[in-house]
Structure 1
């Protein structure tokens, strides 16, 4: 039994190491290539380390291609969409999880279907809608659809987390004279912060990395986001792979920081949503 247990532990450790290497290898290659010279990026055989290290690619991305403006656009769109998702998701999730109502099951099933519905199927009708209301080439052409698409999943997460908040806490607050809004704001939301962080990070990541809608709805360079900006680097004759690697590395930083800072909250929020309700 001990030999089997030891073998199982070694097998798990080796499997975990292989998975980590498989996941981290492309990220390392992107970061390493972003610090290579133009010749180093296309060198044969490939260089595993940038020799010598250079920030040339970052200068090309920010100076020649105006990458900072794409970052600003992505921040504006992603933050606004995430705020909308959290506000509406909190209200809907609380209502579905805490308030008595009829038709709760059909609503939850509908939200589940919507959360897995392929967004690519909505591109054509949404484009016609944006054109008819005059929203093409604007921020709202992105953050409104982004919020709508990410809202069902956020409601699922938040609803399941609100279910886990003890009702006795709300009842005590009401006995003390707190209004329903004050009860939710002061009692329920602080206890549901892991769920809020989880829903917010997932919504922000989805908005930050979305490409097809950003490409379809905003053709003006003034409103392009990071994925579209990177895709349009270069021209028909030259593709600046080094600048693309550098811009991609910068684009990954906000997501990596969010996940690292709030990793415990994300795990707690996902676990709660998986086992409750």
Structure 2
């Protein structure tokens, strides 16, 4: 009984710690700007300070915000698609083939994934301006892929190692080529890993702020996290906190929906290969 009570209390504390900032932002998004300026301390909007859905309608009506959403969707989807395709082929080679330097490849990929993002901003800024891809979608897609590919390769390698060789050999005995066996047998069996790699890649690209604010200068390619920092409203000396909160909630909705719908596949992909049995 005591263990059960302790478990419930522990879960409650963790949920409060994690969800309190989210609940506070949602509360701000429903308050009027005047109540925030006057310092309304309440968690819930009081009478006369409730702005309703007007903050959300104002944010969605803003051209800058809509353009940033489009940029984030396009850049994230392209980076995710390319990363998953390349990582699937690379992970299969790492898991199935024997070649010199395989451990070096995996180690290098892990080192790249842990490399500080801030240290690359300066060199990339100069390179992208020289190459003419500064403030473009491709100028963000390349850095995103550089950091998501290693994680995707490690995740997919674990799945490919779990698939028995005999299934691929059986397909080849039945007349399938190596490519057909890979495409029609191996990839479908590794679908949970492929799906997990795609979700993690999308999360990184969608939530990135450092590259988004450093490698763009206009609304042409600026993603939503960076665009929110430029959303100052009509008065630059009084930032519209309620509108910013509404924009943050809207920008978070796709991530929340993906996690709620596919949380089991995410956990399965991350834990695959962790236990050998």
**When the two structures are superposed, what TM-score results if normalisation uses the length of structure 2?**
0.93
Is the 2:87–2:149 contact (alpha carbons within 8 Å) kept by the matching residues of 1? yes
CA–CA distance in 1 between the matches of 2:268 and 2:62?
43
Q: After the TM superposition, which of the residue ranges 62-71 and 27-36 deviates more from structure 2?
A: 62-71
2:224 aligned partner: 226
CA RMSD of aligned residues (A): 1.7
Q: CA deviation at 1:102?
A: 2.1
> TM-score under structure 1 normalisation?
0.93
1:61-85 deviation per Cα after TM superposition (whole angstroms, max 9, x unaligned): 2234531111000001101011111
What is the aligned partner in structure 2 of residue 49 from structure 1?
44
Which stretch shows the higher mean deviation, 40-49 or 148-157?
A: 40-49
* 8 Å CA contact 2:117, 2:210 repeated in 1: no
Structure 2: any 5+ residue segments left out of the alignment? none
- 1:66 and 2:26 aligned: no
Encode CA deviations 1:150-171: one digit per residue, 9 max, x unaligned. Answer: 1111101011111011211111
Cα gap change, 1:100 to 1:63, in 2 (>3 Å): same
Query: Which residue of 2 is the match for residue 159 of structure 1?
Result: 157
CA distance in 1, matches of 2:273, 2:223: 31
Runs of 4+ more than 6 Å apart? none
**Superposition pairs of residues 122-271 of structure 1, within 5 angstroms:** 122-234=120-232, 236-271=236-271
In structure 1, list runs of 5 or more residues that go unmatched: 1-5
SS of the equivalent of 2:217 reads coil
Residue equivalent to 2:119: 121
In 1, the alpha carbon distance for the partners of 2:96 and 2:37 equals: 58
Report the CA distance shift for 1:45/1:217 in structure 2 as closer, same or farther (over 3 A).
closer
Contact 1:198 1:270 in 2 (8 A): yes
The separation in 2 between residues aligned to 1:275 and 1:198, in whole angstroms, is: 18
- Give the Cα–Cα distance (whole angstroms) in 2 for the partners of residues 27 and 274 of structure 1: 32
CA distance in 2 between counterparts of 1:273 and 1:69 reads: 41
Counterpart in the other structure of 2:12: 17
Deviation at 1:226, TM superposition (A): 0.1
